[in-house]
Structure 1
Amino acid sequence: MSAVVTFIGYHDSGKTELVSRVVSNLKNLGHRVAVIKSSNEPGIAFDKEGTDTYKHRQAGADSVLFVGPDQMVLQTGPSHHSIITLAHRYFPDVDIVIGEGFKHARKIPKIEVRSNRDQDLRAEVHGVIAVVTDLDISGDYIFRMDEAPEIASFIEKRYIRERNKRPEKTSLLVNGRKIPIKEFIQDSLAGTVVGFVEALKLTDGIKEIEIRIRLTDRDTSAKE
């Protein structure tokens, strides 16, 4: 787990300027730095020039998370992780994550939006399950551009309801890549971790357990 230090003070006390300078210095020392900024005010703009979050990014913060009473916004650097990993890591509590782009993502169902008859992604990429277009084309699951409700129902029936029939109890990421595991292994892993937590007498009100394991060079070399 990352170390956490927070700067506090009244409004206009100079916190943002100080934090930005500290971030710059930590970056100069070769560290990866994230900033979490909180506010009690609704409607705060995120990452616009002159805002606190903008200053933190300009200072070199690798990631900035803004938490307000009406919103939470995360900005981070580029990632080479797959859309599956990004969805699992950042949005574990939603029913579905809708992407835009990622046409070459493996094992991801894709809905092609087409406005040009000569551009047929169904013939170029794997996993196209439907097409949205006002062109006169044939095929299974063809929707019109004004049929957003029908598209939403299609997604709900095919993916959300089906997933809810067999919810995932345990998920596993290794080096940022999600590893599919069978149900009996999910149950086994969950039972083992719950057993350890119960031994710590920390089970009151617990609905979810998260665990992250980071192996050192010594851990990996010991297995060789």
Structure 2
Amino acid sequence: MPYVVCLIGPDCQEKEQILENLPQALGPKGLKTGIIKKKQNLDKAPPDTLELAEKGFVLKAQAKEKTLPQLLEAFFSEHDLVLTTAHDQAKKAKLELVLSGNPGQDPGVRAYISEKPIDSGKPTFSPTDLAGLAEFVAKEVMPEKEPARVRILLSGERIPIKGFVQDIIANAIRAMVASLRSGDKPGRLEVFIDK
């Protein structure tokens, strides 16, 4: 499951640009990043419509039909990180855009994005300093990599597996695949078994 960082603050062009351009700045850090954003200009769509975008691919989904964990599982299972403006109430790490005045009081804020310094004890990045913000997210916000996790789906339904059993399955499959030609390359390993 990817790590989630919420971009909060006023809905504006600067926020949209940060959301759309930060994934590119995170790419050299080795992070595959997707975005979930609220659909703007909702003239023909209901207000709970979300727009999911990743590398130009756009998919529309109803927020009431998908919880954040369901969206992550369905569309972002191969990502390391998802940036979202659609889930600002979630208890996730947050980056707050402050255009004027004082920042909010959300305890989840890890850094501010502002043209002016903010006296909070937390780092402040200029909206144009995406390289610095990406470095901060990669080193200070992202958790340490967890051991490989195994997911088993039977006819689309996920079967719960305890961590210890996941480790056994992952290690056994890795050992078998490593003995195959080109099986020792690093990367995501997928195994499909049809019953």
TM-score, normalising length: structure 1:
0.42
Higher relative contact order (CA 8 A, sep 6+): 2
Rg larger in structure: 1
Flag the structure with higher strand content.
2
